[in-house]
Amino acid sequence: MIGTPFFCYRLIAREEAALAAEQGERYRAFMKAVPRLWPSIRARIPAGGSKPDWISGLAAEAFFMSFAFGITAFAITIHERWFYVGLLASPLLSWLADLATRKHRKASS
């Protein structure tokens, strides 16, 4: 547990180095503008001007939300079946969310 922050920081440094090598000056400018670990109170980069796509964002998290629901239901009720419901529902909901996202993209195009 004590070594976890050091491991994570080392991992972040390696990923940043790889991204800087891959993307060059554009990524270095991003690193200067965006804080590494702590969020900023004010925006440090200008807005992109596009509207957020909430459907795609929620669809991307469907697997984890379903799994978290199963774990939470299990923790509250201490009934094993809720854990397995969340575990089994996660891939199914993820697949359904992916289908809905594809239909949403086609409709937006």
d(CA 62, CA 90): 7
Q: Would you call 53 exposed, middle or buried from its count of C-beta atoms within 10 A (0-12, 13-18, 19+)? A: middle
Picking from 49, 97, 45, 89, the residue whose alpha carbon sits closest to that of residue 66 is 89
pLDDT bin (cut points 50, 70, 90) of residue 109 is low
Question: Do the beta carbons of residue 89 and residue 66 sit within 8 Å?
Answer: yes
Count of all residues that appear for the chain in the document: 109
pLDDT band at residue 100 under the 50/70/90 scheme: confident
Whether 49 has a pLDDT exceeding 70, the answer reads yes
Q: pTM of the full predicted structure? A: 0.50
Q: What is the pLDDT of residue 89?
A: 85
